[in-house]
Amino acid sequence: MPAIVRGYNDHTVDNTGVADVLGRIAKLLDVKGEIRFKSQAFEKAARLIEHLDRPVKDLHAAGGVKALMSLPGVGEGIAKKIEEILASGTCKEYEQLKRSLPPGIEELLAIPHLGPKTAVMLAETLKVKSAADLEKALRAHKVRDLPRMSDKMEEKLLKGIAMWKGGRQRLGLGRALPLARAILDRLRRHPGVRDAAYAGSLRRMRETIGDLDILVTPRRPSDAPAIMQAFTEHDEVADVVAHGETKSSVRLESGVEADLRVVPPESFGAALHYFTGSKTHNILIRELGVKKGLRINEYGVFKGKKHVGGATEEEVFKAVGLPFIAPELREGAGEVEAAAAGRLPKLIEPGDLRGDLHMHTDWSDGKNTIEEMAEAGRALGYEYVALCDHSESLRVAGGLEVDRLHKKNKAIDAANRTLKGFRILKGAEVDILESGTLDYPDEVLAELDVVVVSVHSRFSLDEAAQTRRICRALANKHVTLLAHPTGRLINRRDPYAVNLAEVVKAAADHGKCLELNAQVDRLDLSDGGLKAAKAAGVTVAINTDAHDAAYLRPGREYGIGMARRGWLEAGDVLNALPLPKLLKRLAR
Ligand code: DGT
Ligand code: CA
Ligand code: CA
Ligand code: ZN
């Protein structure tokens, strides 16, 4: 297990840290088979402190153990434990409990479908110390023949481990969005549902999502219980974490949690605003409200006791004298000030894109033909696509040798002759070699409309060398844009070491564009990099890098979401240019 408590060793244990240790004690007491009452007391204290509206540390500082005992359900025993945890990040009881049980038991206890008794039995008989150990044992069929185990159980535990792995990481946008939409579709078909929406980080289009936040307003208040039931009985649901009248939480098969809240129509906008967040944004709006003598929360806008708004989000913003702020901007990063000053950007929308400048065909590692990719672009209302297959040295991805590239270019000419009002641009995704030179000679690059350059090798160069390499590539006069500038893969690979400020500057100096690569596990540049590009006057290309015609549409949605988080407007984006203007710019 990783370090146990946030703040461990630095003596700044926050409420979450205290709640964490208390919760762990409760779990371990359960495993030991202690009387239920005792573990429940710890569990209750943990939840209480987790949701306390002020730091438990301050409470203790003001009045010691006595003050802690003023909390409901906290007796002297638990109060003293809290004091210990505040001082040291842990407590004796927890450490003793841990020592009395097999090592790694806490990780095993976190696996869905694995009960405490079985966990101890497996830890003792098979000496498994982690989820990874257990997975190995299951796959070697060492578990199924143990007493009270079966092949059914083997399957169930493997599924539980998969969920545990999924739940430890924030869910990628590409999985969260379809999941939320499926849940909404289903809720909307329910006869008692008047309106449903997703909120939270997903609505802000963050690249990863901690949990899903879903809101429903019923036709009649009496419809609420049936809606709750439909939600908790959904096929995708693995566990019901909490089931209440207005709020339920479930864990889905993928390991992610989803919260559902049922709110009355007059509060729907206020709840949507509140649960969309971010928390920082909410606090800024609430403070503006206070200045106007208003109380703003998830139930509405209140003047004294009177409900004066909250059916729509617009009403919430209007109450504090602001125009509507798009969810993607609500990070508390200057959007409230910009709105107050009338300086909100006119954010780019999907319909602003006129084409896509980076995608692959079956000439390299793509799935579809030249014609199919063009057709997919046309179906989205585009005027052009650039087909950028890989260059020579990227053999693993079917990189094209120069004569194959020439053949492909001829095929594009032929396809263009049959198309009206649409243009297939000749392109390539050219590898930046270690020295910063490119994988095709200049005379070959000169034949292309669009030259995308990217790093696919030597990720481990030090920052200075990697930055030099990329900046050198950007100095080549044939280059149009740098693809996926940081090389990160969300949840899988960190960005390579590179000085992004220098890359942005090089792009500005040479009049090159930077890409917002809309592969959902890349989203690269992300919001911070996009803002830096915009500030330096660098044009951004929002490209899907599609390897499949079916990706053009979802990729556009992810790309536009991230572009909006980066405050981009149509004027900041290369492929928002209509074809004639694009061609002029490319010819520069
Ligand atoms: P996530 O789930 O980690 O990706 O991020 P969010 O932003 O979806 O956060 P979540 O699910 O914990 O809560 C949803 C929203 O509810 C959050 O963005 C803002 C609001 N919220 C939650 N807790 C508080 C709070 O203590 N104060 C305020 N003002 N708003 C809160
Ligand atoms: Ca959330
Ligand atoms: Ca939540
Ligand atoms: Zn590519």
- Phi, psi (deg, nearest 5) at residue 278: -65, 175
Nearest Cα neighbor of 530 from 521, 522, 541 is: 541
What is the reported pLDDT for 167? Answer: 64
Nearest ligand to the C-alpha of residue 361? 4
Query: Which amino acid is present at 330?
Result: R
Residues 319-347: pLDDT tens digits?
Answer: 999 999 999 999 999 999 999 999 999 99
What is the reported pLDDT for 4? Answer: 36
144 burial class (0-12, 13-18, 19+ CB within 10 angstroms)? middle
Query: Which atom of ligand 1 lies at the shortest distance from residue 281's CA?
Result: 29
Mean pLDDT of 123-128: 94
Q: Is pLDDT above 90 for 20?
A: no
Specify whether the CB–CB gap between 451 and 480 falls below 8 A: yes
What is the reported pLDDT for 493? Answer: 82
Which residues on neighbouring strands pair with residue 453, listed in sequence order? Answer: 430, 482
**CA-based R_g, the chain, Å:** 28
Nearest ligand to the C-alpha of residue 545? 4
What is the reported pLDDT for 6? Answer: 34
* Cα separations in angstroms, 511 against 6, 30, 475: 46, 64, 9
Mean pLDDT of 579-586: 97
Mean pLDDT of 413-417: 97
Structure tokens at 143: 């578990």
Question: Is the minimum distance from the CB of 277 to ligand 1 under 6 angstroms?
Answer: yes
Residues 133-186: pLDDT tens digits?
Answer: 999 999 999 999 999 999 999 999 998 898 787 667 788 999 899 999 999 999
CA of 354 to the centre of ligand 2 (A): 33
Q: Please report which helix (H) or strand (E) contains residue 196, including its range.
A: strand 193-198
- Phi, psi (deg, nearest 5) at residue 357: -110, 15
Question: Is the minimum distance from the CB of 331 to ligand 1 under 6 angstroms?
Answer: no
Residue bearing tokens 């798009």? 326
Residues 275-288: pLDDT tens digits?
Answer: 999 999 999 999 99
Query: Which atom of ligand 1 lies at the shortest distance from residue 274's CA?
Result: 20
Nearest-CA residue for atom 10 of ligand 1: 200
The CA distance from 585 to 574, in Å, is 9
DSSP SS3 for 182: helix
pLDDT band at 5 (very low <50, low <70, confident <90, very high): very low
What is the reported pLDDT for 9? Answer: 35
Residues 195-239: pLDDT tens digits?
Answer: 999 999 999 999 999 999 999 999 999 999 999 999 998 877 888
Specify whether the CB–CB gap between 486 and 493 falls below 8 A: no
Ligand 1 pocket check: which of 14, 15, 169, 201 to mutate, most ligand atoms within 8 Å of Cβ? 201
Mean pLDDT of 423-433: 97
Q: Is pLDDT above 50 for 352?
A: yes
Residues 63-106: pLDDT tens digits?
Answer: 999 999 999 889 999 999 999 999 998 999 999 999 999 999 99
Structure tokens at 505: 């500057």
Specify whether the CB–CB gap between 270 and 299 falls below 8 A: yes
What is the reported pLDDT for 26? Answer: 93
Q: Which residues have a Cβ under 8 Å from the Cβ of 454 and sit 6 or more positions away?
A: 429, 430, 431, 432, 482, 483, 484
Question: Is the minimum distance from the CB of 278 to ligand 1 under 6 angstroms?
Answer: yes
577 burial class (0-12, 13-18, 19+ CB within 10 angstroms)? buried
Structure tokens at 2: 């990783």
What is the reported pLDDT for 10? Answer: 38
What is the reported pLDDT for 3? Answer: 31
pLDDT band at 7 (very low <50, low <70, confident <90, very high): very low
CA of 200 to the centre of ligand 2 (A): 4
The CA distance from 382 to 579, in Å, is 9
Which percentage of the chain shows pLDDT scores above 70?
A: 97
Q: Is pLDDT above 60 for 394?
A: yes
The CA distance from 166 to 275, in Å, is 23
Specify whether the CB–CB gap between 453 and 432 falls below 8 A: yes
The CA distance from 485 to 500, in Å, is 8
Give the global pTM.
0.77
Specify whether the CB–CB gap between 209 and 256 falls below 8 A: yes
Specify whether the CB–CB gap between 452 and 483 falls below 8 A: yes
CA of 165 to the centre of ligand 4 (A): 29
Beta strands in 355-412 (DSSP E): 355-359, 384-390
* Cα separations in angstroms, 235 against 128, 183, 240, 242, 256: 32, 10, 12, 17, 14
Residues 514-572: pLDDT tens digits?
Answer: 999 999 999 999 999 999 999 999 999 999 999 999 999 999 999 999 999 999 999 99
Q: Is pLDDT above 80 for 501?
A: yes
Nearest Cα neighbor of 330 from 508, 200, 170 is: 200
The CA distance from 258 to 175, in Å, is 13
What is the reported pLDDT for 2? Answer: 32
Residues 235-274: pLDDT tens digits?
Answer: 778 888 889 889 999 988 777 899 999 999 999 999 999 9
CA of 200 to the centre of ligand 1 (A): 6
Sign of CA dihedral 329, 331, 333, 337: positive
221 burial class (0-12, 13-18, 19+ CB within 10 angstroms)? exposed
Q: Which ranges of 199-303 would DSSP assign to H, the alpha helix? A: 200-203, 224-232, 268-276, 279-291
Which residues on neighbouring strands pair with residue 388, listed in sequence order? Answer: 427
Work out the angle at residue 197's Cα, subtended by the Cα atoms of residues 192 and 203, and round it to the nearest 5 degrees.
170
* Cα separations in angstroms, 107 against 27, 88, 134: 11, 22, 10
The CA distance from 494 to 526, in Å, is 13
What is the reported pLDDT for 110? Answer: 85
Question: Is the minimum distance from the CB of 279 to ligand 1 under 6 angstroms?
Answer: yes
Q: Is pLDDT above 80 for 55?
A: yes
Mean pLDDT, the chain, as a whole number? 93
User: For residue 149, how many other CB atoms are within 10 A of its CB?
Assistant: 17
The CA distance from 357 to 540, in Å, is 11
Question: Is the minimum distance from the CB of 249 to ligand 1 under 6 angstroms?
Answer: no
Question: Is the minimum distance from the CB of 200 to ligand 1 under 6 angstroms?
Answer: yes
- Phi, psi (deg, nearest 5) at residue 181: -65, -40
pLDDT band at 12 (very low <50, low <70, confident <90, very high): low
**Which range is least confidently modeled, 228-237, 298-307, 421-430, 451-460?**
228-237
Q: Is pLDDT above 70 for 8?
A: no
Query: Which atom of ligand 1 lies at the shortest distance from residue 278's CA?
Result: 18
Specify whether the CB–CB gap between 328 and 561 falls below 8 A: yes
Q: Please report which helix (H) or strand (E) contains residue 481, including its range.
A: strand 481-482
Specify whether the CB–CB gap between 582 and 575 falls below 8 A: yes
- Whether the link from the prior residue into 582 is cis, omega within 30° of 0, is no
Structure tokens at 158: 């493997």
The CA distance from 512 to 278, in Å, is 34
